[in-house]
Amino acid sequence: MSPTTTVQTTTTVREDTVTIDTPLTQASADRALKQRHRAMWALGDYPAVVRDVISELGPVLVDACGIRPGERVLDVAAGDGNVAIPAALRGAHVVAGDLTPELVEAGTRRAGAAGAQVDWRVEDAEALPHPDAAFDVVTSCVGVMFAPHHQQAADELLRVTRPGGRIGLLSWTPEGFIGQMFAVMRPYALPPPPGAQPPPLWGRPEHVLELLGDRVEDVVATRRALRVGAFGTGQAFRDFFKACYGPTIVTYRHIAGDPERVAALDAELVALAERHDLGGGAMEFEYLVLTARRAGG
């Protein structure tokens, strides 16, 4: 398949608890990994990243999925509601789940301020607490791509989508700015645990189609670019992501005791931004929108 270009508020919060057992069995190691992911995304100010940088992406995915009033929608790894809130404002019945309680709390506040009815829950994209075929539409916007076990996450997306229902995914591409930012940070970061896969792979249609297999049909994959003008200089970009974006914060904490490596990463991130500068500090962040219909409907 070659990608085809097409171009009264109530909110419920439910939280699952996660414990870490000892000694470290495979299951307890996985729980420890999820705890680290929760902590990472709670660092900094991810809602500021959404508000100041990527707010346009949620409505893009809502439009791509054609979400309609009355449909049952699950937004996976929902952050603070970049997809869930516009979907709810269209009249859909929306459940929004995220692994990080702090983001669920932020989403609850944001939905309330917007007058959007969203059922917020703390939940794991790799073990969704929903019945089979429970939703008409399942979405994730630069969210599920960060689940460490790609096949497990993809299987869950499919399981909770009804036959004939739609799946919509928006992911950073490996070749785009954010994918390249992760490539720059990789030598400075903790090595990934065994079995974890790089998030930007979700930005390759062939990878997503391998995960979904013949369980989907009517696939449309489109590469697009988000124009970002929030940063006047490479230094401004770097400093914002150092302060607000969990993965960048964790990477810098890992090398905090080595000033030379900190300075080297500082310089590499500025150089990356300058290479992508379109003039006046504007940049483009490439992403993939992939929609599909679950087979069997």
List, in order, residues 6 or more apart from 154 with CB less than 8 Å away.
208, 211, 212
pLDDT in tens, 174-207: 999 999 999 999 999 999 888 899 999 999 999 9
CATH code of the domain covering residue 121? 3.40.50.150
Q: Tell me whether residue 90 is in a domain.
A: yes
Distance between CA atoms of residues 48 and 232, nearest Å:
17
Q: Tell me whether residue 254 is in a domain.
A: no
Q: Are 280 and 274 in contact (CB under 8 A)?
A: no
Q: Are strands 216-228 and 135-141 parallel, antiparallel or unpaired?
A: unpaired
Token pair recorded at residue 25: 């069995």
Distance between CA atoms of residues 71 and 93, nearest Å:
6
Q: Tell me whether residue 2 is in a domain.
A: no
Based on the number of CB atoms within 10 Å of its own CB, is 23 exposed (0-12), middle (13-18) or buried (19 or more)? exposed
Q: Tell me whether residue 59 is in a domain.
A: yes
Q: Tell me whether residue 234 is in a domain.
A: no
Domain housing 31: 24-227+286-294
Q: Higher confidence at residue 211 or residue 25?
A: 211
pLDDT band at residue 23 using 50, 70 and 90 as cut-offs = very low
* Cα→Cα distances 180→55, 67, 105, 155, 271, Å: 21, 31, 30, 27, 11
State the Cα angle at 280 between 171 and 229, rounded to 5°: 35
Q: Higher confidence at residue 46 or residue 12?
A: 46
Q: Tell me whether residue 281 is in a domain.
A: no
pLDDT in tens, 53-82: 999 999 999 999 999 999 999 999 999 999
Q: What is the dihedral of CA 81, 85, 88, 89, to 10 degrees?
A: 180
Q: Tell me whether residue 13 is in a domain.
A: no
Q: Tell me whether residue 62 is in a domain.
A: yes
pLDDT in tens, 251-279: 999 999 999 999 999 999 999 999 999 98
pLDDT band at residue 12 using 50, 70 and 90 as cut-offs = very low
pLDDT in tens, 205-229: 999 999 999 999 999 999 999 999 9
Mean of pLDDT values over 158-172: 98
Q: Residue 29: what pLDDT?
A: 83
